[in-house]
Amino acid sequence: MDVIRTKAALRARVAQWQAAGEAVALTPTMGAVHEGHLSLVRLGLERADRCVATIFVNPRQFGPNEDFTTYPRDEEGDLAKFRSAGCDAVYIPDPGQMYGTDYKTEVTVTDISDVMEGASRPGFFTGVATVVSKLLIQSLPDIAIFGEKDFQQLAVIRTMARDLDLPTEILGAPTVREADGLALSSRNAYLTPREREIAPSLHRAMIAAAESVRTGAAPHVAAEQAKRDVLAAGFQQVAYIDIRSQDTFAPAEALSENLRIFAAATLGSCRLIDNIAV
């Protein structure tokens, strides 16, 4: 497995594979690798001949009071996990490779970035769209794979790639969960043992809300009940629990096709996000 630290070396390696007729998949991550990330690598190797993972804790997607400095980092452990999954290369740029000293450009996707995570974390999706566009341009892979746990982020990236005519197919991969339903996330490491017991309550409340809508409840009523359930379970704050169209992100008024329930809530020092189809 190659460990690559410059964009020139990354582009040369991917171009070498493509010149030999091999398709290349890219799986961007911020490290703190878990089974969810490894599932992206395995999907990449199913859909392409080569898979490149990236590790970059992107400062531009963290707000001033968020956890950039404390975000879990374990380069040696991450490399071992990617190697075990069959990854062909891992790209680990430093901030200077990604953003030069006179860097001035941002990529913003309007409309679908303005709700839920975008409203809760101003600037977050601009940071995501900027770094992902740069990773795609630096590597020019045939496909890039992102987890559906961050479903709104996936939609933003798909829109960005389409609108900028980037020659990469954007694929979504199913959310990977613990046996009790908790969606895998690097930030789950922040949970205390007691909080870890409470955490699956978010997923259970979402399942109950989805079932309620399917059996006739108004989406806003089901979402409000889910918020009450999550707070009653021990979460300190609910940023949002919304039922929306997964195509347009417009709020749902009644049961229809392609509805999805989205949630973000705080438990201790950990902010959990999740989504499921209705």
Distance from C-alpha of 7 to C-alpha of 98, rounded to nearest angstrom: 8
- pLDDT, position 102: 94
Domains (range + CATH), the chain: 2-173 (3.40.50.620), 186-271 (3.30.1300.10)
Q: Does the pTM exceed 0.85? A: yes
For each successive 10 residues of the chain (278 residues), what is the average pLDDT? 98 98 98 97 98 97 93 96 98 95 96 96 97 98 98 98 98 97 97 98 98 97 98 98 97 94 97 98
For residue range 20-39, list pLDDT tens digits in order.
999 999 999 999 999 999 99
Q: How far is CA 163 from CA 109, 236, 246, 250, 274, in A?
A: 9, 39, 19, 20, 27
Query: Which residues does 115 contact at the CB level (< 8 Å), separation at least 6?
Result: 152, 242, 244, 249
- Residues carrying an active site annotation: 37
Q: What number of residues does the chain have?
A: 278
- pLDDT, position 269: 95
